[in-house]
A and B are shown apart, each in its own frame.
Chain A
Amino acid sequence: MKRWEEIADATLGFAASAILFVMMALTFADVVSRYVFNAPLRGAFEVTELMLLVLIFAGLPLVSHADEHVTMDFIDKLLWPGAIAVLERVVQAVCAGIMFLLTWQVWLKAGKIASYADTTDVMRIPVAPFVYFMAAMIGLTGLVHFYRVFVPSRRRAAQAST
């Protein structure tokens, strides 16, 4: 991994982990506040919603960068190493293409939301900037895949979800 790659990965990782930490702390504080002080935190609900949105899409470039998407790897056993290397690049190019398409679509969605100035119910937080952020992060994910077409990742990550 190159130096700038490490820095970019760490920056985004820090942002995502900070959001996750705050989300957890906020949920805990909300429950404590409700039971101990009989006063639920106002707007905790919608702040959590927006944080989840940021968390998911800030993490997406990290997942792609670490090559952690769930894939089927039967074909690795059928092909010879040279062919796998070529296939790997083609797959990355396809992923990049799809991510760029989705970037465009989510950007359109953000535009729509901005045009009717949608805000959250309680705290009146404008929603559109968050959706633009989503689009930007999906775009960044596309760039990661595009980069991987030329610089393949060295390791195949183990799948840890089950």
Chain B
Amino acid sequence: MIETLIGLAAMMLLSFVRIPIALSMGIVGVVGYAYMRDWNWAPAFAMAQTQIYETGRNYTLSVVPLFILMGTFVARAGMAEELFRAAYAFLGHRKGGLAMATVVAAAGFGGPCGSSIATAATMAKVAYPSLKRFGYADYLSTGSIAAGGTLGILIPPSTMMVIYGIITQTNIALLFAAGMLPGLLATVLLCVAVRYMVWRDPAAGPPGERTPWPERWKALRGIGAITALFAFSIGGIFVGLFTATEGAGVGAFVSMAFALWRRSLTWRTLYDSLVEGARTTSMIFLILIGALMFGEFVNITSMPGDLKAFVGRFALHPFMVVAAIMVIYVLLGTAMEELSMILLTLPVFFPIIVHLGLDPVWFGILIVCVVEIGLISPPVGMNLFVLSTLIPEVPTRTVFRGVMPFVLIDCVRLAILVAFPIISTWLPSLMK
């Protein structure tokens, strides 16, 4: 037990002085492994060699670059405009309708995109000018963009789920399926938050013009392509038409072809997308290798057994344990960068979840939710920074104020998902 805690502390310390987290985990993993073998370095280095080689040469992991690529292509294909127009056609005439349309469009875009930051950045470009034109208060506009953006990692595919799935060896296809209903729930709840804000301050979100039905159908046809892409690649994985890797490959290829056909992707941007995808892949795999080395060390310590004894001694109810972990994450998430937070804590928390006999897929969805909350909770939230950068005329204070109701409603959603695991586990249970 004590050696794992020292290991964790060492990892925190190394990360704190800005050693890349991947390397901090790797260093502690290898040194710790050697220590557990009475300072015998040969098995530690053999472990390092194996982890590097086998992580690199692993067919299932080729899902990572392909989904990342699909997200990059979707982000560049410029389908966000159509999504926003369609959502506006149906919601625009309501109070706060434009803000709700922003949330719904972000959900539609964030599905295939898979990255929260990219979704928020895209929606800032697409939705903010309209919100401004219709006289929406800046705090409502930026709040709904930041919060809507987080849906990118909840609605499948999602880079966060891929990272979680790999580190904890949880089936990625099941995680994707599990994210669907919570994603819908989140979208609805964010719209509720918009309604609440407009109820408090009607001037913040005036209704737009009503769109006649023929126009609505036309707008709906505009999003046919992105819907088909999403349904085909993700639906294909759900119904077992192809594996996660194949779905990712098909999704990436089809979105590329579509974007090239629409001329929103030039050969130049195609090349940029590929380089970006390659870099992100390398970055994630280095983290993965580091995390696996650290995991190997934790596995040979007494930590897993001690935790078992600890939870047994206090006879804690599993849901109390999960609730406590979630509170810790929400608090940590206000101040920490979310990916680091998850990578540093998962080696400790995940074995507890497994020991308690809880569903790792369900826990994965909860993890994604705390990351989402962390992304928009001041003072340190990546989505807020992205908005401050892209919309510099809105002061940070306003962005912070506007996002608070959404942070609260996201916490409510997290509580609902903790209390009712069935929302996350029902769809995956149909796949097994």
Contact = CB atoms under 8 A, between A and B. Distances in A.
Interface of A: 13-14, 16-21, 23-28, 30-31, 45-46, 48-53, 55-60, 62-63, 66, 68-76, 87-88, 91, 94-95, 98, 102, 105-106, 108-109, 127, 130-131, 134, 158-162
A66 B275 CA distance: 12
Contact of B21 (A70, A91, A94): A70
A27 B249 contact: yes
B279 A66 contact: yes
Contact of A59 (B48, B59, B282): B282
A30 B56 CA distance: 21
B274 A31 contact: no
Given A50-B57, A70-B337, 7 more contacts: A30-B249, A31-B249, A56-B285, A63-B286, A68-B283, A94-B19, A130-B57
Given A134-B52, A134-B53, A161 B284 contact: yes
Contacts of B116: 162
Contact of A20 (B118, B274, B340): B274
Contact of A49 (B62, B65, B277, B282): B62
Contacts of A66: 279
Nearest to B375: A162
A162 B114 CA distance: 8
B169 interface: no
A161 B281 CA distance: 10
Contacts of B253: 24-25, 27-28
B198 interface: no
Contacts of B246: 27, 30-31
Contacts of A95: 19-20, 23
Contact of A74 (B16, B163, B343): B16
26 contacts: A17-B278, A19-B278, A24-B249, A27-B246, A27-B249, A27-B253, A28-B249, A31-B250, A45-B59, A52-B56, A52-B58, A53-B56, A55-B281, A56-B282, A59-B281, A70-B20, A70-B21, A70-B343, A71-B18, A72-B15, A72-B340, A75-B16, A75-B17, A98-B27, A109-B52, A158-B385
B250 A28 contact: yes
Given A13-B275, A21-B274, A69 B22 contact: yes
Interface residues of B, number: 67
Contact of B282 (A17, A60, A71, A94): A60
B409 interface: no
Contacts of A58: 278, 282
B82 interface: no
Nearest to A74: B16
B115 interface: yes
Contacts of A51: 62
B278 A55 contact: yes
Contact of B163 (A18, A20, A31, A161): A161
A4 B48 CA distance: 33
Contacts of A13: 275, 278
Interface in B37-80: 45, 48-49, 52-53, 56-59, 61-62, 65-66, 69
B20 A17 contact: no
A94 B274 CA distance: 30
A58 to B, nearest CB: 7
Which 9 pairs show the lowest CB-CB distances between chains A and B?
Answer: A27-B249, A59-B282, A17-B274, A69-B20, A16-B278, A28-B253, A53-B56, A109-B49, A59-B278
B279 A91 contact: no
